[in-house]
Amino acid sequence: MNRRRFLVGGAAVVLSPRAHAAAGLRARLGVTSDEIAPDLERAARVLREVGLGWTELRNVWGKYVTDLPIADCKRARALLDAAGLRVSVMDSSLFKCDLPGAPSGRKDEVPYAEQEALLGRALERAPLLGTRYVRVFSFWRPTGKAAVAGRIVEQLGKATERARAAGCVLLLENVNGANAETSAEAARLLAALPSPALGLAWDPNNAFCGNEIPFPAGYAALDRKRLHHVHLRDAGRDPATGKCVWLPVGKGKVDNLGLLRALQRDGYAGTLTLETHYQRPDHNKELATRESLGGLLALMDRL
């Protein structure tokens, strides 16, 4: 049997091909930093303590990362470099808003009129933070019958071209309430925009909350060549209301083990992020992340 050597604490450990693949997934696993703490230095210490080498940046030092001053971006990069951490994705709230004339009843995270400026800030900051990947959305789903599919493709296409010119890649995230909420909806939108400067940040738990079975059905709908990043956590439904609730990995209804095995089997080469969301009764974010990470790593041990 072919075997490979893997360094653990300076010692060479021989791994089977299966174990080597599992180690590869773990080596590309991170946590969204503000799911640990708003202070990046604190989050970085925890990430290194638990043996992870990646992070996704969303809110840093009390600011959304796209609003972080350039000097603070450089400070963050220096801190992460010193800790041996890499940024998988820089989050933005691009297109997490209504299209004009297509109201959703939801609150815009950034008004439509400010979207171009928001994209410019994101494309400027991502390289400073050491990544070319910028997370984006697909506009809020309108409550009426407004025809928005063509307009979404047009808007996302223009943004994708700006990203390509800047040497960046936009990653569409499927999210609840957006036009691309499920895996299948995200796949259809990506198919309409074949540019290599647009890919997918797949969130199987958001798909679950959008009434899709994320694995195997949702995964089967994806163009895996466009898949660059995966969000991991767990979810269930409140038995009284039917509403989606976030849970520690291993405590919900999402087949995280099945989808991790599929990613391993299919040679997935992108990054993964634990985006905890789950809240403990004491609202301690770090402990909630540690609890959920423990469940996720236990699943990875079974790959």
Range of the domain at 131: 18-300
Would you state the pLDDT for residue 19? 55
- For residue 3, is it within any domain? no
Q: Which of 256, 279, 258, 262 is nearest to 227 (CA)?
A: 262
DSSP 56-119: EESEETTEEGGGS-HHHHHHHHHHHHHHT-EEEEEEEEET-SPBTTB--SSPPSS-GGGHHHHH
- For residue 2, is it within any domain? no
Residue 118 predicted with pLDDT over 80: yes
Residue 190 predicted with pLDDT over 80: yes
Instruction: Identify the H or E element spanning 227.
Output: strand 227-232
- For residue 13, is it within any domain? no
Task: Give residue-wise pLDDT tens across range 36-67.
Answer: 999 999 999 999 999 999 999 999 999 999 99
Residue 12 predicted with pLDDT over 70: no
- For residue 4, is it within any domain? no
Would you state the pLDDT for residue 266? 97
User: Coil, strand, or helix at residue 168?
Assistant: coil
| CA 243 vs CA 158, 238, 275, 277: distances in Å | 35, 5, 19, 15
- For residue 112, is it within any domain? yes
C-alpha–C-alpha distance, residues 32 and 277, integer Å? 10
Amino acid 184 reads A
Residue 156 predicted with pLDDT over 50: yes
- For residue 11, is it within any domain? no
Q: Binning pLDDT at 50, 70 and 90, where does residue 22 land?
A: low
Q: What is the mean pLDDT of residues 101-120?
A: 97
- For residue 265, is it within any domain? yes
Report residue 71 as tokens: 């000097």
Q: How many CB atoms lie within 10 A of CB 207?
A: 29
Q: Binning pLDDT at 50, 70 and 90, where does residue 23 land?
A: confident
Output the domain CATH number for residue 220: 3.20.20.150
Global model pTM greater than 0.95:
no
Share of the chain above pLDDT 90, in %: 91
Domain count, the chain: 1
Would you state the pLDDT for residue 126? 98
- For residue 26, is it within any domain? yes
Angle at 79 between CA 233 and CA 284, to 5 degrees: 40
Lowest mean pLDDT: which of 20-29, 132-141, 171-180, 294-303? 20-29
Angle at 212 between CA 22 and CA 190, to 5 degrees: 75
119 Cβ neighbours under 8 A, 6+ residues apart: 92, 94, 159, 162, 163
Would you state the pLDDT for residue 1? 33
